[in-house]
Amino acid sequence: MNSKNIQDGEGKPHFEKQKRVFKGQAVMEYLITYGLALFVILIVLAILVAVVLPSLKAPEACQFTQPGFTCNVKPHTLVADTDNNVRLLFQLDNTQGKSIILKGVLCTTAPAGNVRKADIDTTGFTERPMAAGESVTIGGPTADITNSVDCKEADGTTDVKLAANSNFRGSLGVLYRFSEDQPDAPDRVAVATVTGTVQAE
């Protein structure tokens, strides 16, 4: 009886020690297995970000945030010159239902919600009356309005520089007034979201 008690007394701690060793091994195996799986997933994601995402082209879209104008009846074009300066060529359609006077346009990387009237530089822009339903092309040498619409960074001064086949995401601002507005009435602004792939000149 004493011998059995001694064996039980000695065997129990030894068994518990083995149990702890096996438990520790199981935890280590679990951590290594799932750690490796996580590492592989991260590697795959890094490859997708580095290789696949840059090759995806931005959708060609020009959409005003409020009714009154459209710029998607004819596709717009984003062009990079030899120095990678980007400019916008587009057609503006007056769907206001009344005539307007176009006073200036802006291409910027700023989000549509951040474009303000003061951001649109009218220097050198020739004001253009537009009848209700009229469309005008803007930005090219043979366009109705030949002023170059150079795209600016959100700071308003730095030229956007993108190589051909790069993706552009930004905004188009249009400064205008209704022909029937009072002479001292403030100008109005309409803003569109513009996305697309830059083309070489």
Q: Please report, in tens digits, the pLDDT of each residue of the chain (201 residues total).
A: 444 444 444 555 555 656 666 666 777 777 788 888 888 898 888 877 766 655 566 789 999 999 999 999 999 999 999 999 999 999 999 999 999 999 999 999 999 999 999 999 898 898 999 999 999 999 999 999 999 999 999 999 999 999 999 999 999 999 999 999 998 999 999 999 999 999 998
Q: Which of 87, 71, 84 is nearest to 151 (CA)?
A: 87
Q: How far is CA 198 from CA 139, 147, 163, in A?
A: 15, 19, 7
* 57 and 195 Cβ atoms separated by less than 8 Å: no
DSSP assignment letter at 48: I
Residues in CB range of 144: below 8 A, 6 or more apart: 128, 136, 137, 138
Helix (H, G, I), strand (E, B) or coil at 31: helix
Residues in CB range of 172: below 8 A, 6 or more apart: 62, 71, 88, 90, 105, 106, 107, 191, 192, 193, 194
62/87 Cα distance (integer angstroms): 14
78/61 Cα distance (integer angstroms): 11
Helix (H, G, I), strand (E, B) or coil at 21: helix
- Is the entire prediction scored with pTM above 0.75? no
Q: What tokens appear for 111 in the block? A: 């989000």
Q: How many whole angstroms from its chain centre is CA 128?
A: 30
Looking up tokens 């206001």 gives 96
